[in-house]
Amino acid sequence: MAVVAFWLLFVAFVGAFAAQVARRVQLIAGAPNTFSTDNLRLRANRFLVDVVFQARTIRERPMAGIAHALVFWGFVAFGAYTLTEFLRGLGIVDLTHSGWFNVYRVMLAPFAVAVLGGILYLLIRRALVRPVALGTKVSLESIVIALFIATLMTTYLLTFQLAEGTMAERVNWWVHMLVILAFMALIPASKHFHLVVSPMTVFLKSPELGNLPNLDFEKEQVGLETVKDLGSKSVLDAFTCVECGRCQVNCPAWGAGKELNPKTIILQTQEALLAGTRDRKLGEMYSDKVLWQCTTCGACENQCPVGIEHLPILIGSRRGLVSNGDAPDYLGAMYNNLERRSNIWGLGYDQRAKFVQSAGLETFDPATHDVLVWLGCAGSFDADFQKSLRSLFAILRAKDVRCGVLAKERCTGDPAKRTGNEYMFQELANGNIEDLKASGVKKILTSCPHCVKTIGNDYRKFGYDVEIEHSSVFVEALLRKNSAALSATGSAAFSGPRETVTFHDPCYLGRYAGKVDEPRNLLTRFGADIVEPERNRDNPYCCGAGGGLLFADKEEEPGSRISDVRFKQLQATGATTVVTACPFCSIMLKGAQASAQADTQFVDLMTYVKDRL
């Protein structure tokens, strides 16, 4: 009788679960396939770190993260227990009297206590503390789930108290099993679906942050225009979101009071998919205003603990808008500059030639030069950043590194790529790749982190493979070798006065390239005592220049300027010198400093090192 009742309940609840899952699987399968499984080693490693060890969950919010890890590990530990009880309830096989089960059952006790502790902490946090990232209203469903989990653990622990066969024991067993069934039926339509899918999503997340495969114009790809254009990974992402809000609180646009909230983007996607509004225009759904507020800093994607990729959606939608001629005016002006003059400023290349000549640079020749220095739009035209390049050249000369430059450069296409103007990006990229190939270069050195990402990652997608390093990485290694020879300790021979500085990690260096120690090693070796700002290393707060926003008007930016917010964070360190390592960060932060009428000194990393060499 009990077995029949349990079977009926089992079929009903598991059926409800399966139907909801099937709907989502259908949506994922129906979307254009964007899944990839390249670089298995990195994926496996990330699975281990982020899923098994919950690193990304714990890193940013240690207390909540550990509480979550306890619940997660508890769930995994209880897997066989739950299965055994189901087999028994369904009358298939009763293994509960076997020796191993009783040992296993006892071993679960500390896990149950840990889960109870963890879930209680999370329940209090969600219901009473209510951090902003979790949304403005308390999710009732989350409270129910938390109580379910607490009930499961309590009913498990009670089995040690209740004698088998008693009424109390039977009630306890039924409560336990019914909660599991109800839990299953609730999961797919809630953020708890991440229990089922997030391990897959983490595994399927691109090994490259901000991965934007090239559009194939032959296949008339124009980017994402409507809901049905969203790729399968994006659809999976939408159903994986756990609504923790790490993307939100780390987003510089959201932090500066703008409308963009990466979490909202994902939830809007989910809602539209389930509503079946396949022809809904993404520009309207997300709001084109919001789509243009993203600096492509990558914080959302990088902080997400469940493997969601926001940038393919944000930039993919920009591609759709640009293909329909819906870019903001300031980008239109920049595209004109790129089209007519092949650089973002719209300046003539005679100015670059003037700089190349005055800096005594030769045209690259693999026979005589060790590296090719890629100047970039800033290095070619910005007199301020050219000072930094002169410092780099002085360092290279002092260490007998022979370098050359291309006779002609175009913008790498980064601002075009990041703003969704794929056609222009490919024009620029193909031209540059042709010139780089013809030059015979094996190793490129640049002071622009955006050029590192574009040449190093995006050009690779055209089959062009070249080693490219940011100057901080190259110079750090260069001077390390050298100083090791100079002093037995391997530390620098620098003996001048030490100075307190703060370092602003560029998003495209710290977060995208993961180069956080090299600039710091250089600074420390050359007399700097670094005071770290809030948001640093591989999770810096953007300067506000990325994604084409260097060109945005203030009127087009609601809230504060991102650069002003970042400048205040840097000021708060108390250091009066800010070291930068990206021309665009330098432009933005100097602008913010000028507007704030502050006396903060800015110095580029290469100039800092050269002055103390």
Partner 1 sequence: MILVIAEQRDGKLNRATWETIVGAQQLAKVSGAPITVLVPGAKAAGVAAELAAAQTNEVVTVEHAALEPYTPDGFTATLQAVIAQLSPAYVFLPHTYQTRDFAPKLAARLDRAIVTDVTAVKAVAGETAFVRPMFQGKLTADIVPQGPAPHFITFQIGAYRIDQVVKGPAAAPLRALDVTVDASTIRQKPEAPFQQARQAVDLSQAERIVSVGRGIKEQSNIALAQQLAEALGAEIAASRPICDAGWLPMERQVGSSGQTVAPKLYLALGISGAIQHLVGMKGASTVVAINKDPDAPIFEIADFGIVGDLFEIVPAMIAALKA
For partner 1, what does the binding mask look like between residues 346 and 375, x meaning CB under 8 A?
xx----------------------------
Please name which of 383, 372, 455 lies closest in space to residue 414, comparing C-alpha atoms.
455
587 binding partner 1? (CB under 8 A): yes
Query: What single-letter DSSP state applies at residue 281?
Result: B
CA distances from 257 to 251, 252, 287 (A): 10, 9, 16
Least distance to partner 1, CB of residue 427, Å: 11
- Helix (DSSP H) and strand (DSSP E) numbers for the chain: 29, 9
Q: How many residues bind partner 1 (CB under 8 A)?
A: 25
CA distances from 235 to 25, 294, 519 (A): 9, 20, 38
Least distance to partner 1, CB of residue 339, Å: 6
In the complex with partner 1, which residue's Cβ is closer, 150 or 347? 347
* Interface residue with partner 1, options 218, 279, 400, 555 (CB under 8 A): 555
In the complex with partner 1, which residue's Cβ is closer, 245 or 544? 544
In the complex with partner 1, which residue's Cβ is closer, 37 or 597? 597
Least distance to partner 1, CB of residue 453, Å: 21
Least distance to partner 1, CB of residue 255, Å: 19
DSSP string for 369-381: -SEEEE-HHHHHH
* Interface residue with partner 1, options 48, 595, 601, 611 (CB under 8 A): 595
Contacts of 338 (CB under 8 A, 6+ apart): 344, 411, 413, 415, 416, 424, 428
Buried b (16+ CB within 10 A) or exposed e, 497-521: eebebbbbbbbbbbbbbebbebbbb
602 binding partner 1? (CB under 8 A): no
For partner 1, what does the binding mask look like between residues 376 and 405, x meaning CB under 8 A?
--x--xxxxx--------------------
In the complex with partner 1, which residue's Cβ is closer, 32 or 431? 431
In the complex with partner 1, which residue's Cβ is closer, 395 or 552? 552
Main-chain dihedrals φ then ψ at residue 3, nearest 5 degrees: -65, -45
Least distance to partner 1, CB of residue 338, Å: 10
Stretch that binds partner 1, among 82-90, 109-117, 165-173, 337-345 (CB under 8 A): 337-345
State the Cα angle at 609 between 603 and 613, rounded to 5°: 140
DSSP string for 290-350: HHTT-----HHHHH-TT----HHHHHHHHHHHHHTT---HHHHHHHHHHHHHSSTT---TH
Stretch that binds partner 1, among 4-12, 471-479, 496-504, 593-601 (CB under 8 A): 593-601
Least distance to partner 1, CB of residue 500, Å: 24
In the complex with partner 1, which residue's Cβ is closer, 291 or 338? 338
Residue with tokens 């956080």: 516
In the complex with partner 1, which residue's Cβ is closer, 216 or 553? 553
Task: Please give the structure tokens belonging to residue 62.
Answer: 């240690």
For partner 1, what does the binding mask look like between residues 534 and 553, x meaning CB under 8 A?
----------------xxxx
434 binding partner 1? (CB under 8 A): no
State the Cα angle at 301 between 295 and 302, rounded to 5°: 105
* Cα–Cα distance, 467 to 128 (Å, whole number): 52
In the complex with partner 1, which residue's Cβ is closer, 172 or 380? 380
Amino acid at position 325, single letter: G
* Interface residue with partner 1, options 418, 520, 590, 610 (CB under 8 A): 590
Least distance to partner 1, CB of residue 558, Å: 14
Q: Per DSSP, what are the bridge partners of residue 446? A: 374, 470
* Cα–Cα distance, 534 to 503 (Å, whole number): 11
554 binding partner 1? (CB under 8 A): yes
Stretch that binds partner 1, among 81-89, 180-188, 338-346, 482-490 (CB under 8 A): 338-346
Write out the binding residues for partner 1, residues 241-260 only, by CB under 8 A: none
487 binding partner 1? (CB under 8 A): no
What is the contact surface with partner 1 in residues (CB under 8 A)? 330, 333, 339-340, 345-347, 378, 381-385, 550-555, 587, 590-591, 594-595, 597
